Amino acid sequence: MRYERPTTLQAASQLLAKEKGSAYVLAGGTDLLVRLRTGLIEPDLIVDIKRIASTRTVAKTATGFKIGAAVTGAELGENAALKKAWPGVVEAANLIGSKQVQGRATMTGNLCNASPAADSVPALVAAGAKVVIAGPKGKRTILVEQVPVSPGKTSLKKGEIIEAILLPKRPPRSGDAYLRFIPRTEMDIAVVGVGVSLTLDAKGLVKDARVSLGAVAPTVLLVPEAAKAIIGTKLDAKAMDALAAAASAACRPIDDKRGTKDYRIKVAGVLAKRAAKIALDRAGGKV
């Protein structure tokens, strides 16, 4: 195995593109190192992207925020401007693992690991986040929900690296939230995760909304029917019930040791309501 730490995206992309064996990108390493040490993967090349300056910063841009691929959960939690604009995204990222894991783990890694239960991903999808991908043919930008294609697999092609996550600018009266259900209080994998982002109009009606579910399908789900159920409403009890029904209807979960299909379907609706309530409060709305 070779270890490389290029200082430019082009060099990193070339190293990955030219490698004939198996090549992996390393940022926080909290998933990669476990797979490496347990023998699940035997890389020929590891490309550490942390020396590439643009992967290490959170920049406030004209269109929102650009979060470098190697920015850690701890760094996100310390960014007051980001927390204010996207509290749901930051709380989702900060739910992952312990303080030790937060010191290294990244949202981009959480996304590229492509686990159906990744905590930060539903929050990013609800937020309408995009990723900037650098590759041998230059850069392209796609939506976060277009990255995972099945458990453990992404749509990234050979030689491609995610440089950063883009979060849009927040209109006034906007709020987001992420909730997950776990049987413990901390340090566990989501049985169900729900991200909700919404914007209210001047009268307090929901103008825009995005609802996303994790751990209830092979990949993260964006659920337009759930958003439709609350758009134009004040999130009264009837709208909340319609939201829950739409969220539950979208689930295609499996039975596993953490929860049954029926349980996950039920919990998705309950959590969607609770997350929507928090997002509403953050947007300054009242029921």
Partner 1 sequence: MSSVHVSTTINGDPTDYVCDADETLLDVLRNRLGLTGAKEGCSTGDCGACSVTIDGRLTCSCLVLGAEVDGAKIGTIEGMANGEKLHPLQKKFIEHAALQCGICTPGFLIAAKSLLDHNPKPTETEVRFALAGNLCRCTGYDKIVRAVMDTAAELRRA
Residues in contact with partner 1 by the rule CB under 8 A? 1-3, 5, 26, 29-30, 33-34, 36-38, 43, 46, 48, 50, 72, 74, 97-101, 103-104, 186-187
Output the smallest distance, CB 180 to partner 1, in A.
Answer: 15
Instruction: Give yes or no for a contact between 89 and 144, defined as CB atoms under 8 angstroms apart.
Output: no
DSSP state of 55: G
Output the smallest distance, CB 48 to partner 1, in A.
Answer: 6
Instruction: Give yes or no for a contact between 137 and 165, defined as CB atoms under 8 angstroms apart.
Output: no
Output the smallest distance, CB 27 to partner 1, in A.
Answer: 10
Query: How many other β-carbons are positioned within 10 Å of the β-carbon of residue 54?
Result: 17
Beta carbon nearer to partner 1, 80 or 237: 80
Q: How far apart are CA 286 and CA 200, in angstroms?
A: 10
DSSP state of 53: G
What's the Cα-to-Cα distance from 190 to each of 75, 160, 193, 234, rounded to whole Å? 22, 28, 6, 29
Give the bridge partners for 134, in sequence order.
139, 161
Output the smallest distance, CB 4 to partner 1, in A.
Answer: 9
Beta carbon nearer to partner 1, 98 or 146: 98
With residue 101 as reference, give the H or E element that holds it. helix 99-102
Beta carbon nearer to partner 1, 115 or 212: 115
Beta carbon nearer to partner 1, 35 or 228: 35
Beta carbon nearer to partner 1, 39 or 172: 39
Beta carbon nearer to partner 1, 117 or 133: 117
Q: How far apart are CA 156 and CA 172, in angstroms?
A: 34
DSSP state of 146: G
Output the smallest distance, CB 30 to partner 1, in A.
Answer: 5
Output the smallest distance, CB 49 to partner 1, in A.
Answer: 11
